[in-house]
A and B are shown apart, each in its own frame.
Chain A
Amino acid sequence: MTDQDNYRPRSPDLSSLQSPVSPSVNTPVYQFGNPVAHRASYDASPFFTPQYQSPPAPHGRTSQQYVPPYAEPIPFDPDMARRSSRLARAAEVAPMSPMAPMAHMTEHKYMEPIAQPMPQSMPQHMPQPMPQPMPQTIPQPIAQPIAQPISPPMAPLMSHPEEPLPLSAPTPVEVKTKFPVARIKRIMQADEDVGKVAQVTPIAVSKALELFMISLVTKAAKEARDRNSKRVTASHLKHAVAKDEVLDFLADIIAKVPDQPTSRKHDDDNSDGNEQPKRKRGGRRPKDDSD
């Protein structure tokens, strides 16, 4: 979890920089494109499969060891996402709902394999234009943590596929996690008027709920972004809800939330109080925005 928070690979600039910059890195760079030239003899030998190319390069070695931890934090390769979401759309005829989902991820399983090349290619172009200060200069999504993954900056093998990263295209958010249907049914039947419920009904409701949640979260996130906050708070959600007529039925619930965002602890324990937002804790800590 913390790992993931730390790594934010989204930046349109990076993608465009990538291909032109990479060749000139001063460390011994093995472009993925040309190792063949160096190792022609190996390649020619029947005993060397292409996979063996990377281990001989010492840097490649280290980079590979470093990969696994990063493979997960980068669950999002826009290009792949684009492809797989196209697949998904074709498969299940599930067009996006118009509430403009933002960054999304399709299937974890799809991502992981390609997530690997990313960390390797990142260091390659990163250090060039603006080595470490970058995180500070660019306030938004890239943020501090990129500095760490760079630590193996030599990982030059495998230059990333040169396609540009089209981050702008809003693609449908796909949520893999499903709600427990039995629970949904119980919540439905908590209302005493509600009698019998067909077997599919809770499933349908659960899908509707999923879409509803995506819409709420997306709206709240937008609200937060508009206010330059990286943390989506209850009050952002409140504002998002208040803007939408359709969500009037939530009025009572959001009425409990104070307008001013209150600072909150990051602890995990205080998660169940509805009263929480009301507690004031002496203003916002500056830290809140950075993590």
Chain B
Amino acid sequence: MSDREFNSNDDLSLPKATVQKIITEILPPSSGQTFSKDARDLLMECCVEFITLISSEANDISEKEAKKTIACEHVERALRDLGFGDYVQDVLAVAEEHKEQLKSREKKQSKMEQSGLSEEELLRQQQELFRSATEKYHAAPE
């Protein structure tokens, strides 16, 4: 509750700059068309409404399945049910991409851990480095 009050409705819309940027990507100057400010503001409202719609539909679906968390499948189904089936493929691709990213991140982490040395060994090496650094420091001519 406190959270929600703290982040006033200002935060509940999309960042204008981002929206504007995307609009320009869709309608590049070469298209000869410009998007007026009132249209952009309206578009932003529509977008927020869209998010609300999708998430509340996805929420209903997840509740029906007795799930507490809204997962990607629920969004997918919500999109289909609401007539945005066209988006599903792209959305799933992006979600998949994200999962892949997570995986590779984990792999990287475990790679560090699996450097083949035990923690003691790593610590010992570190101490070794410290010592040699200190020696170098003292040996250095003033």
Residues of A within 8 A of B (CB): 4-10, 73-76, 92-95, 97-99, 101-105, 140-143, 173-177, 179-180, 183-184, 186-191, 193-198, 200-201, 203-205, 207-214, 216-218, 220-221, 224-225, 230-234, 236-238, 241, 245-246, 249-250, 253-254, 257, 264, 268, 270-274, 276-277, 291
CA distance A101 to B21 in the complex (A): 17
**A contact residues around B114 at 8 Å (CB):** none
Could you tell me the distance in whole angstroms from the C-beta of B115 to the nearest C-beta in chain A?
Answer: 28
Main SS of chain B's interface residues? helix
Verify A205–B54 contact, CB threshold 8 A: yes
Contacts of A93 in B (CB 8 A): 93
Minimum distance in angstroms from A108 CB to a CB of chain B = 9
Give the chain A neighbours of B54 by CB distance below 8 A: 205, 208
Interface centre among A75, A143, A187 (most CB of B within 10 A): A187
- Which residues from chain B contact A201 at a C-beta distance below 8 Å? 58, 70-72, 74-75
B123 at the interface (CB under 8 A from A): no
Q: Is B47 an interface residue (CB 8 A)?
A: yes
**In the complex, what residues of B have CB within 8 A of residue A211's CB?**
84, 86-87, 90-91
Top-9 shortest CB links A-B: A141-B32, A4-B29, A246-B83, A188-B55, A234-B38, A103-B31, A207-B94, A196-B69, A76-B30
Say whether B95 contacts A194, CB under 8 Å: no
Interface residues of B in 7-50 (CB under 8 A from A): 7, 11-16, 18-19, 21-43, 45-50
Which residues on A sit within 8 Å (CB–CB) of B26? 101, 104, 173, 175, 213-214, 217-218, 221
Q: Kindly list chain B residues whose C-beta atoms are within 8 Å of the C-beta of A291.
A: 34
* Chain B hits for A234, CB < 8 A: 36, 38-39, 41-42
- B→A interface (CB under 8 Å): 4, 7, 11-16, 18-19, 21-43, 45-56, 58-59, 68-72, 74-76, 79, 82-84, 86-87, 89-95, 97-99
Chain B residue numbers with a CB within 8 Å of A274 are 41, 45
Tell whether, in the assembled complex, residue A95 and residue B89 are in contact, meaning their CB atoms are under 8 Å apart.
yes
Known A-B contacts A253-B42, A277-B38; the reply to A75 vs B56 at CB < 8 A is no
With contacts A4-B29, A103-B28 taken as known, whether A208 is within 8 angstroms of B87 at the C-beta atoms is yes
Question: Which residues of B sit under 8 angstroms from A253, Cβ to Cβ?
Answer: 42, 45-46, 49
Q: Which of chain B's residues have a CB closer than 8 A to the CB of A216?
A: 43, 46-47
21 A-B contacts (beta carbon < 8 Å): A74-B30, A95-B90, A97-B90, A98-B86, A187-B14, A196-B68, A198-B70, A200-B98, A204-B92, A207-B95, A208-B87, A211-B87, A212-B87, A213-B22, A213-B43, A216-B46, A217-B27, A217-B43, A221-B31, A250-B50, A274-B45
Whole-angstrom CA separation of A74 from B99 in the bound complex = 36
